[in-house]
Chains A and B, each alone.
Chain A
Amino acid sequence: MKALIEAGVKPVDSYRPGENKRPWTFKEKLMLGLTPGQYLGQALRNPFNWILGLIFAVGLPLLAYRYLFGLGVVTHSSNDYPWGLLLGFGLFCMVPLSASGFMLGTTVEIFGRHDFEPIERLALLNGLLGYFFAVVYLLVDLGQPWRLAYPMVISFGPVAVLFLVAWHVATYLSVQVAEVSVAFFEWIGWLGGKRWVRKIAIGLTVAGIILSTLHQGALGALFLYSPGKVHPLWYSSAFQWILFFASSIPAGLCMVITVSTVIKHTMAWRCDRNFLDNLDYCTLGIAKGAAMGLFTYFFIKVIAVAHDNEWAYLATGWGFWWMFEMFFGVMLPIILFAYAIHHRLLWLVRATGFLTVLGICLNRLNTSLITFNWTIYQELPHIFEFIITITLLCIYVVVYRFILYRLPILYTWKEAPQEAVATEPVKTEPRVSAGTSTAPATSSP
């Protein structure tokens, strides 16, 4: 793609190719304004696509194998570990990493911090895709995925925490679709739809906060059903839901830092100045939020151990594993964030963001899989389960990239001028960002 742009090709970023030309057709927009030959050429030149192709060549047949012959052929069919890696990673890790949508939505829409607007859409998209793929993982793991809608329409089990998770994830998914649809409406050129969604933006954002609070917490509360199965250090009858909710905040924020870092290095051609110039400033702000979130989480984590008087477990093997997780996943990121933010070392902020993502994932895997059944035995998931998990993650990356290439997430859409004047006087000009990028320190809180 970089080579094509150097050769003078300009990817679609507006209503029409130039002055006095007809608007882009839908097909041209899909192809980024490239000719089929150019499009195929750039896809084939990208070595990452070859790696993806290799993974899909192994993973997709396995996925078909699972649907044709049942879960038994790709997992250990364990009755003691009903939830394996597909849920341990796919649901319990993907959902906290997708808390970014409601965090940045709240920052911009509720608290009116429009200086974070350049990264808001990326955070919303990250949330939407993360949730969507958590559901995709669920569809692979459920015994009868075609019954997914049963808790909504056929048979209600409102006592169950999972009922709450199902309803809230479904509702929140719709809320996020609405939030991201603004970018989609711009892209297809239906400004009426965009205006309508903007009108209910506050309502959507508040609904997002409510639903996120509850189901991020509910994922933790799911483990309240298994006291004794989850190791006491990862289990707290009083605080489990708060722990999951609190840790989802730094997880979601750090996921945005991580994704934006990858974008900055691999997809800079798709970003406009508004995004690139403000990225460092936004990253620092988000990192501050993440550091505070991590500290809160750390504090509650220690309170949870004290509350149940579990100090004695710290001297056991599981205790060392807990301290490993707490040190590398929580304490070290707090220290590194503090140092890096103070000295404005953006590379370190970004690396720490990634470390935090790994740390929170480790926490979820520890709770759902690694320390689960700690009194019985530990099970290593089937190799096919690993491959399917990685394959689904790659599909997530491909879909993510497909959308970022096209929708105005990283760049500002240049709308048809005559329509814009009539309907949307404030949104036509890209936000002036020179002030924030040259002196970010002055406008940070």
Chain B
Amino acid sequence: MSGISRRRFLAASAAGCVATTFAGSKKALAAGTFGGYPEGMGVLVDITRCVGCRTCEAACNKEQNLPDPERPFDDMSVFDEIHHGQQRRTNEKAYTVINRYEPTGSDQKVYRKVQCNHCAEPACLSSCFVNAYKKTDEGAVIYNDKVCVGCRNCMVACPFNIPAYSYSSAFDPIIKKCVFCYDTRLKEGRPPACVESCPQQVMTFGKRDDLIKIANQRIRNNPDLYVDHIYGEHEMGGTHWMYLSGVPFDELAFNMHLSNEPILNNVKDFLGTVPMVLAIWPALFTGFHLLATNKKNGHGHEEEESKHNDEGGDQ
């Protein structure tokens, strides 16, 4: 009996060890805190300055070689488009969109630009099982469409609902989202196309740390004009695109229920249990097996037991 048990135990342990090797790299991620990319670039969007001209949408379309829009960029009727009670969002043909809002208690129309916020610790990146996403030192969140399998987990994960999918493509569908004009501009230190095109200087391009100082300065200088909050300074662990607004952010459909922790922190606890299950289960269940199948006198299992032992014994 002991010989069989040892062999069985070893077989089970070996299975566990093999499995542990595959999962080894997960553990390291649970340690330490991440300080962000202080030298990374970002953009501060000052919503109070935006007039909704959609020049940035057109510039983005041109820069990224996106297909022609259904309605031209000088057609302002797109602001009335409502799908499922929602205003426009980014999609495979538009990496940035401007939406119009009419805040309560004000006859002023307010325009908000939507694009990828380029999180410091992006949810899309941490949810991607082929590691297609990359956060560059310059601050951009880019992706490698050569490895994208199309599971769309990043779309499920993104707290800002930014990544879109090219569903219309049959043979090469991939994720589509704003990449901070990384390949064409940011890499060389130039601001993205939308920022450069803006006639109102809505967007300020600079190091993320400097942008936070500028934003705070503006709020201090004009406390009546601005809401005292920089959206993106802390949301989801901090983003590289941040917003200043003159009206409460939730009136502009900003999600104000987001945590200040990156999504990854939400998942770490579970990832931490993985190596423990791999380590403990083999011994635990092999142990159960030994306990359960040992001779049980008077419980009517002798017949099966002897069969079991014979089966192992003559091998």
Chain A positions within 8 Å of B, measured between CB atoms, are: 67-72, 75, 77, 79-80, 82-83, 106, 109-114, 142-145, 147-148, 150-151, 154-167, 171, 195, 198-200, 202-207, 209-211, 213-214, 217-218, 221-222, 224-229, 237-238, 240-241, 376-377, 379, 425-426, 443
Question: B285 touching A82 by the CB < 8 A rule?
Answer: no
B186 at the interface (CB under 8 A from A): no
B225 at the interface (CB under 8 A from A): no
Select A159's contact among B264, B266, B277, B315, beta carbons within 8 Å. Answer: B264
User: Which stretch in B81-89, B108-116, B190-198 binds the other chain?
Assistant: B81-89
Interface size range on B against A: 35 or more
Would you list 19 pairs from A and B whose C-beta atoms are within 8 A, ordered by A residue? A68-B170, A69-B170, A110-B288, A112-B292, A147-B147, A148-B149, A160-B129, A162-B127, A203-B12, A203-B14, A203-B15, A206-B16, A207-B16, A210-B278, A214-B274, A224-B270, A225-B267, A227-B259, A426-B307
- A203 surroundings in chain B (CB, below 8 A): 8, 11-12, 14-15
Question: A147 touching B149 by the CB < 8 A rule?
Answer: yes
B214 at the interface (CB under 8 A from A): no
- A77 surroundings in chain B (CB, below 8 A): 165, 167-168
Question: A154 touching B147 by the CB < 8 A rule?
Answer: yes
Question: A143 touching B286 by the CB < 8 A rule?
Answer: no
Complex Cα gap A202–B135 (Å): 44
Select B89's contact among A80, A110, A202, beta carbons within 8 Å. Answer: A80
A166/B129 contact (C-beta < 8 A), A143-B152, A202-B12 known: yes
Complex Cα gap A240–B90 (Å): 30
- A205 surroundings in chain B (CB, below 8 A): 285
Question: A70 touching B173 by the CB < 8 A rule?
Answer: yes
- B68 surroundings in chain A (CB, below 8 A): none
| B127, B174, B259, B301 — most chain A CB neighbours (10 Å) | B127
Question: B157 touching A142 by the CB < 8 A rule?
Answer: no
Select B26's contact among A109, A159, A225, beta carbons within 8 Å. Answer: A159
B78 at the interface (CB under 8 A from A): no
Q: Which 4 A-B pairs have the closest CB atoms?
A: A143-B150, A82-B152, A72-B167, A157-B131
A109 to nearest B CB, angstroms?
7
B243 to nearest A CB, angstroms?
19
Complex Cα gap A199–B8 (Å): 8
Select B168's contact among A70, A198, A224, A379, beta carbons within 8 Å. Answer: A70
Interface residues of B in 30-61 (CB under 8 A from A): none
A82/B155 contact (C-beta < 8 A), A203-B8, A206-B285 known: yes
Give chain A's interface secondary structure class. helix
Per-position contact with A for B159-184: 1 when CB-CB < 8 Å, else 0? 10101110111111110000000000
| B14, B128, B131, B273 — most chain A CB neighbours (10 Å) | B131
User: Which stretch in B17-25, B98-106, B200-208, B226-234 binds the other chain?
Assistant: B17-25
Query: A-B pairs with CB below 8 Å: how many?
Result: 230
Complex Cα gap A66–B233 (Å): 43
Question: A225 touching B127 by the CB < 8 A rule?
Answer: yes
Question: B289 touching A157 by the CB < 8 A rule?
Answer: no
Question: A206 touching B286 by the CB < 8 A rule?
Answer: yes
A161/B269 contact (C-beta < 8 A), A114-B304, A199-B315 known: no
- B213 surroundings in chain A (CB, below 8 A): none
Question: A143 touching B130 by the CB < 8 A rule?
Answer: no
A143/B26 contact (C-beta < 8 A), A77-B167, A209-B281 known: no
B126 at the interface (CB under 8 A from A): yes
Question: A237 touching B266 by the CB < 8 A rule?
Answer: yes
Complex Cα gap A195–B128 (Å): 41
Complex Cα gap A226–B159 (Å): 7
Taking A144-B173, A207-B19, A214-B277 as known contacts, 11 extra A-B pairs with beta carbons closer than 8 A to each other, sorted by chain A number, are: A142-B150, A159-B29, A161-B271, A162-B153, A202-B12, A203-B8, A207-B15, A209-B285, A225-B126, A238-B269, A241-B273
Question: B126 touching A160 by the CB < 8 A rule?
Answer: yes
- B289 surroundings in chain A (CB, below 8 A): 109-112, 202, 206
Nearest residue (CB) in B for A237 is B266
